[in-house]
Every structure is written in C-alpha cells, then in structure tokens.
Amino acid sequence: MKTLFDKTAINGLELKNRFIRSATWERKADDKGHITDELMKVYSNLAEGGAAAIITGYAFVMEDEQPNARMMGIYDDSFIAEYKELTDMVHAKGSKIILQVVYCGSFSWFNTGRRIIWGPSAVPNKLTNVTPKEMTKEEIKTLINAFGDAALRAKKGGFDGVEIHGAHGYMLNTFLAPYFNQRTDEYGGSAGNRARILLEIYDDARSKTGNDFPVLMKLNCSDFMTDKGFTFEECKALCGTLAGKGIDAIDISGGPVFRAPKPDKDPSGFAEDFIGKESYFAGYAKEIADSIDAPVILVGGNRSVDVMEEILNSSRIEYMALGRPLLSEPDLVKKWERERGYKPRCTSCNKCFHEDGNDCDLDR
C-alpha cells in the first residue's frame, strides 16, 4: 500500500515523501526578476514545512517578456550565483527545489502595450484583449533555445530539476490549442504539429542538461473550452510521446483560465465546474497515469490525506502537489505528518492573490 510519506525518487532525485509544492507566483522578486530577502524567506518557510520538493513560481526565460510584476527571471547567467544561494539554503533545510520556466504570451495584463508579445498566431486573447505577434520559424528557434539555456542555468544554479510550463493558457499551451494556433506550417494543424514546439523544447533542455537532470512538464488535462481547445485525448497522446522521450514527470493540471482573477471572466465555465471540489483533476490524471510509463503529479484541490491516499492506491499517480494551501500554511505537510486528520485552513477563496504579493489573507 502506498502512503503519502513514502520515500521515492524521480530520475535519481530522492524525495522524502510524495508532497510537492506546486508553482505559485509570489510577486516578491525585484523588478528584473532577481532574488530578494523577502523571496528567500518564502522559500525558507517552504523548505522547513515538510514538502519533499518545491516547484518555484514561474521564471521568465527572455528578458523582454516579463509577463507579471516581480516574478522570477532566468534569462541570463547573472542569476546563477544568486540562485545557488537559494538552492543551498533549501537543501540545508531538507527539501529539494525545481525551477519552473515559462514564456507567457498573450495571457498577460502586465505592460502589454510596451513590449512585443509572441504567439503561435495573431489571435486575440478573450481574457486579456492581447493580440500577439505571430512567431516566425526563426523566433520559434530562438524561444526553444531560450528554454534550453534556462534549464542549463537552473542546473548550474543548484536546482534539482526544471519544469517546463505548458499549461494554464501560457504560450506553450496556446500552441496546443487550435483556437490560438492557426498556423499552416509544421507547428500548426494536426495535434502532433501543434505539440512540436513543446517536444523540441524538451529535447533542447535535455540535450543541454544531460540525462541525469530531472526535466518535468506541466500540462492541462484539457483546456475545458467549448470550442477549439486542447482536448483530453490530445493530452493523453502528448503525455505518451513525452514518456517515450524520457520525460521525468508530468504535472497534470487543467483549464486555460485557471488563474483568471474572477470566475465571471471565465468563458469556459471552468471555475464553476471545479472550484471548491477536492482533487478535481484526479479522474483525468488517473487515466493518463495508467496509460504512460512516467510519474504523474496531481495538482488542484488536494486537501485531505484520506482522499489523496485513496487516489494513490487506486491509480498509478505518484505525487500530490499543493499550491494555495502552502501559501496559507507552509508547514501543512508537517501538520499532516503529526495529525492525519488535520483540516487545512485554506478554503480556495483566492484572496491570496494580491497586488503587493501573493500570501494568505489570514496572515495579513
């Protein structure tokens, strides 16, 4: 019988339990994406809190594409030394740390009129009203190289792995969705062509970091769009392809507007269907995990030990990721270790999303 406190490993990365801190933008880096004392404190608390691994808030891979204020960067070598201080601190406190890397694209409200925003096609984003510039093939190659270089910097900075963000309506997710991707070249059209850029980014990151450095990918199980979204069947097929290439783990989430600030801005009905429910992507993640030979991480609404352990033992899902609960209680995993029935104080109210930094309202 599997338990949440089993010791496991991902590509040689030893993990003391099955809990992973899911990536959450903290809004605590400086204006250029560099580490601050405030951000170090966030990761210190998380490292002491009991989770086996921390996936960082997303880090932008190109300097002129900062999609949110005060998010972490990884766009040049100046970050390596300061990230080594961060990763050394996390390791000293008994946790592991994985850097999430992203190119946002049109799902951004930050400085959108003052920068060029790339996309697979020049299709307006209904949430943000941003119409990106359709990328040339040369620009696609530039982006692939930027992701691979970011992964190498993460390795040099002492991170235990890297997670490529291909979910939540960000750039790579829009390549997967026919609504956003209306290209007629080898990066558009069929599901395989739409996934090409993700596979080439994975290949580039793997070639630059080596086979012994964990490379993960975050995907939507489905976009839950009424028309022309990335579908569950397409996700299953892509996960199978990634597993065949040697991906070290796949982080299953869902919904292109999962991070929309208000549910009434959600044209898909996604928030209405899922918010307030426990482990709401479990059914999708179970089917994916049963069909591939790679570890699957489940994120979204994981709130109780009993439910999570039932999922572990009724499927091939290996890990449980937590985002907002650890914003509210960084030491939640230790609390569960002491008291299996402990009820987290997080109610998924989303009031942790603030203009001056994302943290729980109960701590303000």
Length of the chain: 364
Kindly state the DSSP code that residue 229 receives in the 8-state scheme. P
CA separation (Å) from 156 to 21, 35, 85, 218, 319? Answer: 22, 16, 12, 22, 26
What is the per-residue burial (b if ≥16 Cβ within 10 Å, else e) of 291-311?
ebebbbbbbbbbbbbeebbeb
Task: Report the 3 state secondary structure along 16-30.
Answer: CCCEEECCCCCCCCC
C-alpha span between 81 and 85 (Å, rounded):
7
Give the position of tokens 């096609």: 121
Retrieve residue 65's tokens: 């594409």
Residue 350, C-beta contacts closer than 8 angstroms, at least 6 positions apart: 261, 324
Burial group, residue 237, by CB count within 10 angstroms (0-12, 13-18, 19+):
middle
Backbone angles phi, psi at 84, to 5 degrees: -65, -35
Check if the beta carbon of residue 242 is closer than 8 Å to that of residue 296: no
Check if the beta carbon of residue 57 is closer than 8 Å to that of residue 24: yes
Structural domains for the chain: 8-363 (3.20.20.70)
pLDDT tens sequence across 69-127: 899 999 999 999 999 999 999 999 999 999 999 999 998 888 888 889 999 999 999 88
Nearest CA to 40 out of 99, 91, 85 is that of 85
Helix (H) or strand (E) holding 172: helix 171-176
- Map residue 282 onto helix, strand or coil: helix
pLDDT in tens, the chain (364 residues): 999 999 999 999 999 999 999 999 889 999 999 999 999 999 999 999 999 999 999 999 999 998 888 999 999 999 999 999 999 999 999 999 999 999 999 988 888 888 899 999 999 998 889 999 999 999 999 999 999 999 999 999 999 999 999 999 999 999 999 999 999 999 999 999 999 999 999 999 999 999 999 999 999 999 988 789 999 999 999 999 999 999 999 999 997 543 333 333 444 445 556 666 899 999 999 999 999 999 999 999 999 999 999 999 999 999 999 998 898 899 999 999 999 999 888 777 677 766 666 776 666 5
